[in-house]
Structure 1
Amino acid sequence: MNNQKCSTLFLKLKGRRRIIRCIYVVGFMDLFGVSMIIPLLSHHVKALGASPTVAGIVGSTYGILQLFSSTVVGSWSDVVGRRYSLLTCLLLSALGYGLLGMSTSITLFILARIPVGLFKHSLSICRALLSDLVLESERPLVMGHFNAASSVGFILGPVVGGYFTEQEGGFYVSSFTCAAIFLINAGLVWMLPWTETLADRNATNHSNNTSKGCHDEYCSKSVQNGSHAKSQKEKTEAASRSSWKHRLRWRVVPLLQPAWGQLSSVSSRIHMVASSDMWDLFLVRLLMAVAIMLYYSNFALAMEERFSLKPKVTGYLISYSSTLGALAGFLVGPVTQLYKNMAALLLHSTVLTCSLIFLYAAAPSVWQVLLTSTFFAISTTIGRTCITDLELQRGGVHASGTLIGAGQSVTAVGRVLAPLLSGLSQEFSPCGPPSLGVVLALAAVALLLVRIPKWDKRGATKADKL
């Protein structure tokens, strides 16, 4: 009997792995389609007759909508479930890009950007879904692979978009192609094997012995030599399994509950995150987001002024850094297994990022810029994964959509602040933006040095209670 139940659980775990691989494909296609459009937007707005000021206002519309909708949509995915919220975001994003392909005036262009700005949160929901499907110890590895797949799409998309641009009506072809990609993603999400992998709550309530035996056999967490004595590590793993079962609860929330009920649930979850003691993590995210954006803000102009590099060579350098950032996603899993302590890894990656920004600002030659770009892509990729994982650890995976959405809103604030700070600091020097980035990164390091000991004390207290 136990063998039959273990075999059933193994099939469900195998189905979850299939979902994870499909989510990687969704992430790749998502950014592949979006990156086809992004380089063409400013040119299309100007072609429609917009002045530079109007073009700037139109361009900021998307960021403002993302700022206010990220947390709400992420929380809504906690309430109604990942499947239906992800489908809604994909379909409405497809609608937005389809309208973009029909935009022949500024008014239609703005209308097309509204559904995209409000509902283009498919990647955030994918990350929340991945956090639901894996154990806490596996989460950095899976998130790193997902980020790598998405980054590859972002690298390849502009190549295809550039090819379409050379054709007659290239912008419209790119827009409709992007809309078709989102429709394909929606179809893929709809056909995922949800029924065989997302177990009913009653299916998770097996007896402790059976559940433990199945997990021990198929998750490589067996008690060696038949010993039943629990070490501290085994207690932590048992707590992780309990937390893993708790993650399934979002699936039983009915999609068709009254709108006011969904709104109430969303509001309560957002209030829970807003009133939690996670301000330090969100502040570190904001400081590092602005610092990294300042690094890239005037990169091409600074290379031309400081080293007389041609735009073509600068483009190669940026592509090289982006490719390394994508490949660095595969390093996240091994690095986190080496460190074990995610907070320490975040601190060290932040220190490394701060040092690299300083070296870039003071670089006497292009070769030093090339060296800093190499390690900068790796450190920022690891840092982003660390901060997301720590937010989920401290906030609880039952609200992973809300937490990831809140993190995206914080990053959106950085996107608003970074261009302003970059413009002001460039008045003094081409190295002004990265120099200011060093100051912000140092502030993040100081904050981590103060707060991490308090996080460790809380973690020790929780472990003692277990």
Structure 2
Amino acid sequence: MKKTIRSQKTVLIILLSNIFIAFLGIGLVIPVMPSFMNIMHLSGKTMGYLVAAFAVAQLLMSPLAGRWVDRFGRKNMITIGLVLFGTSELIFGLGTNVSVLYISRILGGFSAAFIMPAVTAYLADITSIEERPKAMGYMSAAISTGFIIGPGVGGFIAEYGIRMPFFAAAGMAFIACLLSLFILKEPLTKAQLAEFSTNAKQVNFFSDLKRSLNPLYFIAFVIVFVLAFGLSAYETVFSLFSDHKFGYTPKEIAAIITISSIFGVVVQIFLFGKMVDKLGEKKVIQLCLIIGAILAVGSTVVSGFWAVLAVTCFIFLAFDLLRPALTTYLSRTAGKEQGFVAGMNSTYTSLGNIVGPAMGGILFDVNIHYPYLFAAVIMVIGLGITVLWKEKQPVENI
């Protein structure tokens, strides 16, 4: 019998703090990147490659990291991931040439591949099937909140020096690592780790990708890709779209994103668990895809600040609810393969994050409306795929 979330508050807070700090650290550096780019005399092309280096590193490491989560334990992978993240931010802050920055971003991608599956698997281990949607909703809210306040905090810290946000992110990561090291306990027994270790010895990136084609998982992984693709394509061009079409200032764009994100977080915390209990993950996912597709098209026809804000609030909400619904479904289906499934979840997310912004940028140059229309088409395809979805009955993990 697993303990309730209420009785594991300290563990839950540490786990959510780890995810929050990782995404806060990513957000912290956003306001200083243009200035950092000028100081380092970097081209836009180089900046794009640095972003891609992070995503590609995460993509390549995620399947292996997911297996290591099962083989070496959740706690070990969380602490290693936090050390890598802190080191990555420290190197970037100290970096004086491009090659060092690439090393930093690659380490950052590795850290993301370690932290996300480990925290997801840890939450799945310590929660019952009934309480898991609530826990995954909390995790998604922690991710969103980190993104929301990261840029604001980064802008404040940057007043003390352009490199200070990187050092602050590193410091927070190392503190989170120490707290995890001394407070968290490995949720798997030695016998379970030994069993997983035996099963995980003969694995590689391509064999795990092949295993992810299992009909039990594949449709969910495709929708994970659709989510990452649609959200990253939408967010990549949102600022450019708002500037080109409406002439919004950075302050107005930041206000829309912040308000929309807060709206999504509040709904995740208070309503997501109830929605899953009433509708089930599949219907929540389908509803989010329908709303996302409609509002992506709507984004091309609305005008006026309040109308744009309303559409953005609900499209962000659809994406924010889709993420924990998918994660909950996959964790229920995974059984004893929590690490593998969480790692492949991260892999397909990385694929979407690589392809989405690239396609969004290319289409934006052709017509500013095309990225949103293409994102809508991708979501409709994802919705069509869910019709073929045959769900496995929930089985409590051993």
Equivalent position to 1:399, from 314, 318, 337 = 337
Structure 1 409/199 Cα, relative in aligned 2: closer, same or farther at 3 Å? closer
Give runs of aligned pairs for residues 63-462 of structure 1, distance below 5 A: 63-120=55-112, 121-167=114-160, 169-171=161-163, 173-192=164-183, 194=185, 198=187, 200=189, 250-252=192-194, 263-264=201-202, 270=208, 273-277=211-215, 278-330=217-269, 331-339=271-279, 341-394=280-333, 396-449=334-387, 451-452=388-389, 455-456=390-391, 459=393
Cα displacement (A) at 1:37 = 2.2
Distance 2:205 2:55 in 1: 22
SS of the counterpart of 2:20? helix
Alpha-carbon deviations, 1:413-455, whole Å to 9, x = none?
1122122322332244321111111111111111112x13xx1
Q: Match for 1:419: what amino acid?
A: P
Cα displacement (A) at 1:42 = 5.1
Structure 1 86/288 Cα, relative in aligned 2: closer, same or farther at 3 Å? closer
SS of the counterpart of 1:147? helix
- Mapped pair 1:25 → 2:9: no
Alignment check: 8 A CA contact 1:79 1:250 kept? no
Distance 2:91 2:101 in 1: 8
The count of residues paired between Structure 1 and Structure 2 equals: 392
Distance 1:50 1:372 in 2: 35
Structure 1 62/387 Cα, relative in aligned 2: closer, same or farther at 3 Å? same
SS of the counterpart of 2:336? helix
Cα displacement (A) at 1:13 = 8.1
SS of the counterpart of 1:194? coil
Distance 1:270 1:134 in 2: 26
Cα displacement (A) at 1:111 = 2.3
Cα displacement (A) at 1:29 = 2.5
Structure 1 gaps, min length 5: 1-5, 202-248
Structure 1 271/147 Cα, relative in aligned 2: closer, same or farther at 3 Å? closer
SS of the counterpart of 2:142? helix
SS of the counterpart of 2:337? helix
Cα displacement (A) at 1:459 = 4.3
Alignment check: 8 A CA contact 1:79 1:265 kept? no
Distance 2:235 2:324 in 1: 20
CA RMSD after TM alignment: 2.9
Distance 1:436 1:405 in 2: 27
Alignment check: 8 A CA contact 1:144 1:385 kept? yes
TM-score for the superposition, normalised by structure 2: 0.88
Distance 2:253 2:362 in 1: 23
Distance 1:410 1:25 in 2: 24
Cα displacement (A) at 1:267 = 6.9
Counterpart of 1:221 in structure 2 is none
Alignment check: 8 A CA contact 1:328 1:377 kept? no
Structure 2 gaps, min length 5: none
Q: Match for 1:407: what amino acid?
A: N
Structure 1 273/352 Cα, relative in aligned 2: closer, same or farther at 3 Å? same
Cα displacement (A) at 1:282 = 1.7
Alignment check: 8 A CA contact 1:124 1:401 kept? yes
Alignment check: 8 A CA contact 1:27 1:150 kept? yes
Distance 2:154 2:303 in 1: 36
Distance 2:140 2:210 in 1: 27
Distance 2:71 2:175 in 1: 25
Counterpart of 1:44 in structure 2 is 36
Distance 1:186 1:426 in 2: 41
Alignment check: 8 A CA contact 1:94 1:180 kept? yes
Instruction: Tell me whether 86-95 or 113-122 shows the greater mean CA deviation.
Output: 113-122
SS of the counterpart of 1:430? coil
Structure 1 312/176 Cα, relative in aligned 2: closer, same or farther at 3 Å? closer
Cα displacement (A) at 1:58 = 2.8
Alignment check: 8 A CA contact 1:288 1:440 kept? no
The runs of at least 4 consecutive aligned structure 1 residues that moved more than 6 Å come to 12-15, 266-269
Distance 2:54 2:131 in 1: 33
Alpha-carbon deviations, 1:118-154, whole Å to 9, x = none?
2233133111110111111211101111221332232
Alignment check: 8 A CA contact 1:28 1:150 kept? yes
Distance 1:268 1:19 in 2: 34
Cα displacement (A) at 1:79 = 0.9
Distance 2:168 2:118 in 1: 23
Alignment check: 8 A CA contact 2:261 2:313 kept? no
Distance 2:336 2:206 in 1: 13
Cα displacement (A) at 1:14 = 7.2
Identity %: 19
Structure 1 271/59 Cα, relative in aligned 2: closer, same or farther at 3 Å? closer
Cα displacement (A) at 1:252 = 4.8
Alpha-carbon deviations, 1:247-272, whole Å to 9, x = none?
xx6445699x9xxx965367798367
Distance 2:30 2:268 in 1: 23
Structure 1 177/307 Cα, relative in aligned 2: closer, same or farther at 3 Å? closer
